[in-house]
Structures are given as C-alpha cells and as structure tokens.
Amino acid sequence: MDEDSLIGMLKTIMGSDFASSSSLTDTIEGYNSAAYSAVVAANSVVVKPLASAIIAIICTLELARTATSAEGDRQLGVRIVAATMFKMVLLIIAAQHVDLILGAIREIAQTLTSGFAAQFSLGDVSDASKSVDWDAIRENLKNAPMLDKVQLFAFLTIPWLVASFAGIALKIVVFLTFTEIYVLTAFATLGIAFLGHPETKQITITYLKRYAGLALKFSVLAAVVFLYATVISSRVGLSPGSLPTPDSSLAAWAQEHLKDLVIGPIVFIILIFSSTKIARALTGEG
C-alpha cells in the first residue's frame, strides 16, 4: 500500500485543497475571461438597444404622470417636470455605466472574500493539516506492517469519499454561482432600465439584490471554509493534538476517530448548500 496515497486521503479528509482548488477568490474576469467578454458583448449588442427603448417608454410615462399630478400650478409643474427630467438623465447615465455599479458590488464582496481567505493558507486551509509532521507520518507508514496499512485504508475509505464529494460539491456551487453572475451580467442594462418608474423600480431592486447575493455567496463560502478549518476540524477530533504520532498505530487512530472523520466533511457539505440562504439573508431577500 502506497504511503503517499494514504497521506493524500488524510489530507483530503482534512480539507487541504478545499479552497485552493475551487477558485473561491477568483474575480468574474479571472474565472473565465472568455465567458466574461462574451456576456459583456451580449449586453452591449443585444440588451442595450432593448433597454434603451424601455428607458424611452418609462421616461415618457413618468413625464406624463408627473405633468398630470401638477396640473393647475404652473410653477410647481415646471419644478416637478424639471426634477423628473433630471431623474431620467441619471437613469440614462446609470444604464450607460451599469458595469461600474455591478463592479462596485463585486468589489465589496471580493474584499470580504479576500479577508476571510487571508485568515488561512489557501494551499492548505486546515489548521490541523498544516500543523502535522507529514514526513514523520510517512516514515511511520513505511515502518508499519501491511495489515496496519490495509486497516488504515479501510477506515479512511468512507471519510475520504465523503470529503471528496464535499470538495466536488464546493467546486460545483462555485461554478454555478459564477454562471448565474455571468447570465445576470449579460442582462445588466435591462435590469437597470426599470428603475425610472415607481411601478417597475422593484424589478431593478430585486435584480441588484440578487446580484449582490450571488457576489456575497463567495464570501459566505470562504467563511464556511474558514469555519471548517478553524472550528469544525478541532471539534470533531482533527486538531493537531489528536492526530497520530510517528510511533503510534495509524489504523488504531483512524478507528478511534472514524466517526469524527466522517462528521467533519458532512457538516462542511451541509454548510456549502446553506450558503445561498445565508447570502440571501445578507441582502434582505430572506
């Protein structure tokens, strides 16, 4: 039984590659530059003309509404119409520079994500993992009888499968989140176009909330990895003090902590799939 394979299983269980392999800290431009360029082009060529027509209709309706409400008072009417026209100008400017608005939202989320990521080493997120003398454990495995290695492999198989699934689940959630952001970015101008009328502005508010929720989801996932690395691991028996020493039986250690080795990744998976609900709560979506 290969010692490096067994150590690799242990590292996977302790989440050594959860953050580094999932692109948590990537920007929307850096995750897939081709996709970002495509959605920006689609927004400019396909969506902006339609959004311009909608803005023109909304401006007309808003001017008609405000002009009607000010009938009988010429001075007040002029002020209201002037204020409405100024609001329409701001709407047009916002639609033209919607990329800056969305970029500001992403920058806030990126700052939070980077802040959490700075609390642990992205290449080795688990405090337990990076505190272990893996060379000593490798030497232990070299000197261990084959039966001990087989037993260790048997005990680690289920926890390793669960942890591997957790890593895959994190990658899938990150991929789907980026995909949703790309789709919303493609319709960015249309999302802003409805802001100019009281009866349609809720569409824009909902759009921006949804976009902010997706951007903050990366921050929540980074916080989840941080939580798993700094709290869950030690609570379920993966702290450095509970790991096997070079002169102890690794199989006996794995048998003693089997329940803990399974619980950690399961809790991590639950937190991953709860990230959407947490991010929505942060933006008031419930």
More confident residue, 127 or 83: 83
φ/ψ region of 244 (left if φ > 0, alpha if ψ in -120 to 50, else beta) reads beta
pLDDT band for position 177 (cuts 50, 70, 90): very high
The whole-number pLDDT of residue 12 equals 80
Please work out, in degrees rounded to the nearest 5, the angle formed at the alpha carbon of residue 7 by the alpha carbons of 4 and 13.
Answer: 140
Asked which of 102-116, 246-260, 269-283 is least confident by mean pLDDT, the reply is: 246-260
Report whether 232 contacts 126 (CB < 8 A). Answer: no
pLDDT band for position 41 (cuts 50, 70, 90): very high
pLDDT at residue 236 greater than cutoff 70 = no
- Using the CB atoms, write b or e for 36-72: b if 16+ within 10 Å: beebbebbeeebbeebeebbeebbeebeeebeeebee
Nearest Cα residue to 22 out of 174, 179, 222: 174
Interatomic CA distance for residues 128 and 125, integer angstroms = 9
The whole-number pLDDT of residue 38 equals 93
**Residue % of the chain over a pLDDT of 90:** 18
Q: What is the pTM of this model?
A: 0.80
Nearest Cα residue to 181 out of 92, 105, 112: 105
The whole-number pLDDT of residue 17 equals 64
Mean pLDDT for the chain?
81
pLDDT digits (tens, 9 = 90+) for 47-74: 988 988 988 888 888 877 777 766 666 6
Rounded average pLDDT over 189-218? 89
More confident residue, 81 or 32: 32
Sign of torsion over alpha carbons 120, 229, 7, 249: positive
More confident residue, 184 or 79: 184
More confident residue, 250 or 262: 262
pLDDT at residue 184 greater than cutoff 90 = yes
Report whether 196 contacts 62 (CB < 8 A). Answer: yes
